[in-house]
Amino acid sequence: MSAIKDEVIERFREYLRIPSVQPDVDYSDCVKFLKGQAKDLDLPVSVHELVPRKPVVVITWTGTNPELPSILLNSHMDVVPVYEEHWTHPPFEAVISEDGFIYARGTQDMKGVGMMHLEAVRALKNNGVRLKRTVHVSFVPDEEIGSADGMEVFSKSEEFRRLNVGFGLDESMPGTGDVYEAFNGERTSRPLKVTCTGIPGHGSLLNDNTAGEKLHYVISKFMKLREEERKKLVSGTPYGNVITVNLTQTEGGVLVNVLPEFLSVSFDMRIPPDLDHQELEDMIKSWCEEAGDGVTLEYYKKNPEIKSTRIDGSIPFWTAMKSVVNDMGYKMNCTICPGATDARFVRNQGIPVISFSPIINTPRLLHAHDERIHVDEYRRGISVMEKILTAVANV
């Protein structure tokens, strides 16, 4: 291993050792580290704190034609909690095992990708390369808890508008084989609650119009929809193209022998982007009406429907990116993301974004015990990002 390669790995390990764990993250060490990286690269860095203690760090590499819309390489600084007793190595020591794996929370989700972005810029810049378009490497907070104080607020700000972003890259997931995974869109998360009311009474009676009867009707409808969608999944439809419905909470009742005044049920629901969202909502409202009087629907958060980035050849950045991957002899699978990433907020500003993690031949361990990446795959990811960045920034 050469000295230069040692430095690449050590920079990554330094970032991984910062325990930016949700909830209630202190991002100050992340900001300090990233400012140091910008200084080493001789690049300007901005820290935008639109919400107190929720910094957004942007490192900028100005292109030869800075008036062109820029490229945004986005990653998040926060990571999910760990259960240390289930880890082979301490999750914030970034231990390199004898077989070459770096064990640490964030290796895949998503400090690894963020550092690949930055190392690709470093390699190109050190080799005297100049790109047409300006590149902004952003590091945002709170993605793991919904991004309300992170990319959501940042993407709507004047500070973001001044970046003049024309195309973005965000996170996907590792390819377990030799195929890169990319996402051009995401399902809409619309967690909801249905509340059914009834007249209280003694539990020994068989009264009409009870909250329990109404709740049973509503749950049956949701579970039938769930089973229909599950059959699609079993038949081979990707997760990103099915509605997922899961009963997650129930509330109500005071005593086992008292008919309740209300009962409510909550569902986690994710809707594919090509589905008519209003039509689905109208169907759910009809179930509530059919269940009886006093049945109401409310959303915990009615996230907006966001159009996917087109991959039909009309977005030149995607075309350039796909060509580069193919020219390297690899394949790339582009689908709808089964979960959610910060890319949705950027897409909501009308900007095309492809979620892409330049990692293959790696077990998928996002949020799992023993999250890790092999040093060779990390280096390969940097090389892949160099080529992709060169292609999209020269469009």
pLDDT digits (tens, 9 = 90+) for 73-90: 999 999 999 999 999 999
pLDDT tens for 126-149 read 999 999 999 999 999 999 999 999
Distance CA 167, CA 306 (A): 16
In this prediction, residue 339 carries a pLDDT of: 87
pLDDT digits (tens, 9 = 90+) for 189-207: 999 999 999 999 999 999 9
Q: Dig out the tokens for 20 from the structure.
A: 């930016």
- Is residue 270 scored above 60 in pLDDT? yes
Cα–Cα distance measured from residue 112 to residue 372, given in angstroms and rounded to the nearest whole number:
10
Domain ranges for the chain: 3-187+305-393, 191-299
The pLDDT value recorded for residue 175 is 97
- Look up the CATH number of domain 191-299: 3.30.70.360
Residue 26 has pLDDT above 50, yes or no: yes
The contacts of residue 369 (CB under 8 Å, 6+ apart) are 82, 83, 86, 87
**What is the mean predicted confidence (pLDDT) over 222-229?**
98
Domain range 3-187+305-393, CATH class = alpha beta
Return d(Cα 176, Cα 35) in angstroms, integer: 33
Report which residue type is found at 163.
L
Edge-to-edge strand ranges of the sheet holding 54-61? 45-51, 54-61, 135-140, 70-76, 165-170, 353-356, 179-186, 331-337
Distance of CA 101 to the CA centre of its chain: 24
Is the pLDDT at 5 greater than 70? The verdict is no
What's the distance, CA 370 to chain centroid?
20
Using alpha carbons, list the distances in angstroms from residue 155 to 74, 146, 337, 347. 12, 14, 20, 9
Contacts of 328 (CB under 8 A, 6+ apart): 384, 387
pTM, two decimal places: 0.92
The Cα–Cα gap between 25 and 127 comes to 36
Cα 371 to Cα 360: distance, rounded to the nearest angstrom: 14
- The SS3 call for residue 153 is helix
The widest CA-to-CA distance across the chain, in whole angstroms, is: 83
pLDDT of residue 42: 98
User: What whole-number distance in Å separates Cα of residue 186 and Cα of residue 182?
Assistant: 11
Which pLDDT value is given to residue 4? 46
Which residues participate in catalysis according to the annotation?
A: 78, 143
